[in-house]
A and B are shown apart, each in its own frame.
Chain A
Amino acid sequence: MKKHPQLLSLFAFIALIIFVVVPFVPLILSSVSFSWRWPDVLPESWSFRAWEYVLNDGRTWQAVGISLWIALIVTAVNILLALPAANALVRYSVRGRWLFEAIIFAPIIIPPFISVMGIHLTFLRLGLTETVLGVVLAHIAPTLPYMFRAVMISYQTLSADWEDQARMLGARALPRFFHVVLPHLLPGILAGASLSVLISLSQYLITFIIGAGQVVTLPILLFPFVSGGDPGIASAYSLLYAAIAIAALVGMDAALKRYYQLNKAPQDSGKGVKP
């Protein structure tokens, strides 16, 4: 083991690269190929027609917009639901806390589509199908548990002494929340938000059942192409879709870093960031 660390690391590095990166190669190549027949390892002719199609089509950006919009609303709702709940479990002694945890973590165990198929006709009757609202409601159950867990873990690292200190300095509940609790919870909230956005973006079945083809998110738009359509366009859409997901995550990560940096800046810039 100790004898050839360099060799083994090189081997490990290559293996990892092959495993993670190589699968993307045909995806990328396919999206910029004009015709790519077997047994060519590389396309015989190149073209950007697939990308032109994808990027110029209004439906693409509509789908991107709706997907992000839904993810955003779902995440915001999750934050509003999870924060008080986490506060309750961490700061108070609650009888039956196991019951609450069982309820809120249930969607991780029981696949959400079971609930959505069951509630479908009821949604139909309530006029929630084919609406963004309906899809948002359907996305909450699969994402809330992750947000709650992230916030709870973060909350547990905030000892009650901090809030006590703020109280002794005269801070009532709301100012305490903004000045002490929220800044501390921010990383946890962002971690939960990342998962929430990611899961919402990757939902296909429940979006399709409730949206009934009228609410067109990226996966809904993508599906016909990947299940037997033009491979070039399918690849382009897939890459776009993956890129949006990664961008959302990176974006949130960067926002957090920027928040911390801004707060370290000298305070005489008047406005500054209100923690």
Chain B
Amino acid sequence: MWRKSKPYLLLLPAAATIILLFFGGIFDGLLKSFGYFPAIGETELNLAAYDRLLHSASFWESMELTLRVAALSSLLSAVIGALIAVALFFLNESTKTTSPKAWHRLFQLPLTIPHLVAGYIVVLLFTQSGFVSRILAAFGWIDGITDFPVLVNDPFGWGIVLTYAWKEAPFVALMLYPVLSRIHGSWREVSRVFGAGDWQFIREIVVPAIMPAWAIATFIVFVFTFSAFEVPYLLGVTYPSVLPVYSYQLYTSGTLSDRPEALAVNMILAAITILLGLVAYYFSKRWNVLKGWG
């Protein structure tokens, strides 16, 4: 008996911790989104918060903004990430003697920088009086501060997109690089034997091979930026705000009746991320992302 239950006992601490702290919190939030506040005597469950939420224009504008920002962030970081991976690839090719490790460490720098710092970097770079604006002025391409577009704390969300593009591109590159380095070498020779030129090689072999990893990486960035708080809080505007910020604004608004609404936003957010997570899992299994090329 002892032997049979040993593995479950070993799993217990970790599982219990997550269940209590994490799922407990989600469940707690769920109850509160139904208006369950025993501390102040509210013990009836109702869908009032959800009702208010789904009928509020600001919620849908938040949703739209969040989707837009997440989509742009993931696409931009996907493109830049691919370019970085290719750039690293070429660097590795030509500098076989010097350690490739230096480049690898360097391009991972954005990954280790905390989000708020990355956000502030974008502030310093892209505000109308920012660094990029000054460089453009030095070249004579713009005349005054207001000639530079509003990219930070803008209602469209460009500041957020730029920050995530910078910060997450290395992540995409990190997922792509191993695939790229495995493709080259013997596979290139094999395709040469079959008469494939450079471009054909890229089109027929390279692109399909990195597609799954690329898609997954992009998707992960999408899910992450969809539900992130720090950067949009710093670089967004008060209205409209992305969903996590919207939820926070409601939670800290001071009006008690806003609390269940805030938590309802959270629940909807959780549901969306779970759904997206399942989709990612399904596709990663189907495409056998990590197998085959090793």
Contacts and interface: CB of A to CB of B under 8 A. Distances in A.
Interface of A: 1-2, 5-6, 8-9, 12-13, 15-16, 19-21, 23-27, 30, 38-41, 80-82, 84-85, 87-89, 91-94, 100, 103-104, 106-107, 109-119, 121-122, 125, 137-138, 140-141, 144, 148, 198, 201-202, 204-205, 219, 222-223, 226-227, 231, 234-235, 238, 241-242, 245-246, 249
Given A26-B121, A92-B6, A110-B273, A81 B14 contact: yes
25 contacts: A9-B90, A23-B121, A26-B121, A27-B121, A27-B124, A39-B137, A85-B15, A94-B8, A103-B15, A104-B15, A107-B22, A109-B223, A110-B270, A110-B274, A111-B269, A112-B22, A117-B263, A141-B22, A202-B115, A205-B248, A219-B230, A226-B234, A238-B121, A242-B114, A246-B112
Given A27-B120, A109-B274, A227-B234, A119 B94 contact: no
A111 B114 contact: no
Given A9-B91, A27-B124, A106 B116 contact: no
A241 B277 contact: no
A234 B7 CA distance: 50
Interface residues of B, number: 86
Given A41-B135, A85-B11, A119 B84 contact: no
Contacts of B80: 19
Contacts of A144: 14, 17-18
Interface stretch (B43-51, B53-61, B101-109): B101-109
A88 B7 contact: yes
Dominant secondary structure of chain A at its interface with chain B? helix
B84 A103 contact: no
A242 B119 CA distance: 12
A202 B114 contact: yes
Nearest to A23: B121
B87 A119 contact: no
A82 B14 contact: yes
B7 to A, nearest CB: 4
Contacts of B212: none
A20 B109 contact: yes
A20 B106 contact: yes
B266 A117 contact: yes
